[in-house]
Amino acid sequence: MRADYINPFISSLINTFETMLGCTLSRGQLYLKTGETQLHDVSGIIGLSGQAQGIVVLSLDRNVALRATSTLLMCETTEMSSDVVDAVGELTNMVAGGAKAQLHEYELSISLPGVIKGEGHEVCFPSDVTPICVPFTCEWGKLKIEVGLAEVRTLASTNATPALAAV
Amino acid sequence: MRADYINPFISSLINTFETMLGCTLSRGQLYLKTGETQLHDVSGIIGLSGQAQGIVVLSLDRNVALRATSTLLMCETTEMSSDVVDAVGELTNMVAGGAKAQLHEYELSISLPGVIKGEGHEVCFPSDVTPICVPFTCEWGKLKIEVGLAEVRTLASTNATPALAAV
């Protein structure tokens, strides 16, 4: 899989935060996730399928999640309530939707978002998929995105099962 | 959404454990997930899209995950290694794949599986989706499945965004 598939997710995330939240993101150095790395306090996760299969994880510091929710709802939010779950899910949905539009050659469709809570949680990918991680900072704190994507054509040609696909 | 969409996931899970692991599951009472409920030690998550959008979470006790991995690999596994991640992801993939075949009217496609680790983690769904949870026990310990699914036709007719879809 071409490593530049990450670019649409990066631009979609930056664009979503800028337009929906009026929040400018500063991008850190991207890296391949080769071992275990803990995520931030709350993470949205969404599945992608079509001519490629993948997962997108958008992970936010508690403060970023609270401030993003407050901005979206135009109402101060100080607890990790169902409003925060909906806001994080919706932001993940927008990021995945924006990237999907740019990756039209893969004819991607996206699942419902799930939102993961729990101290020190992490999302692991199948060992034959190497996700790309990109950290960001903003005035509210830290966030990052992890994306693993495998072309279905690659899977078919290697006769691997979808879950064990090589990128 | 019809509540009986859960049945294909239940039968697929029972069948997967029986045929792949020689492990007979005993089903508990299903319930609607209306609040926060912690999952077991390790959870596979997979996204569904097509004429419905959804998420499946298969959550396992540590011991169930280790014994399932040992059985699949025919090699004793005592640590939560990448082998366990692959095994839990593959089991989740099989459960979702089996259910997809029975829910052919929704023309579902499935994403890559992600595997969540972290003490006391939970997966929250958008507030307008009410997932169905089904607990199971087996000789190795406890496991459960959570499924949230929303018909795309319902979303379009209510003009809701996918992430905030009513079931």
Q: What number of other Cβ atoms are within 10 A of residue B154's Cβ? A: 14
Inspect the interface and report whether the beta carbons of B112 and A161 lie closer than 8 Å.
no
pLDDT tens across B20-79, in order? Answer: 999 999 999 999 988 777 899 999 999 999 999 999 999 999 999 999 999 999 999 999
* CB of A65 less than 8 A from some CB of B: no
* CB of B58 less than 8 A from some CB of A: no
Q: How far is A44 from chain B (nearest CA, A)?
A: 9
Give the residue from B28, B55, B26, B51 showing the smallest Cα distance to B114. B55
* CB of B85 less than 8 A from some CB of A: yes
Q: What is the mean pLDDT of residues A21-35?
A: 93
Q: Do A126 and B124 contact (CB within 8 A), yes or no?
A: no
At B163 the pLDDT is: 40
Inspect the interface and report whether the beta carbons of B164 and A86 lie closer than 8 Å.
yes
Q: What number of other Cβ atoms are within 10 A of residue B95's Cβ? A: 27
At A154 the pLDDT is: 53
* CB of B72 less than 8 A from some CB of A: no
At A165 the pLDDT is: 39
| Chain B residues in contact with A152 (beta carbon < 8 A) | none
pLDDT tens across B71-126, in order? Answer: 999 999 999 999 999 999 999 999 999 999 999 999 999 999 999 998 889 999 99
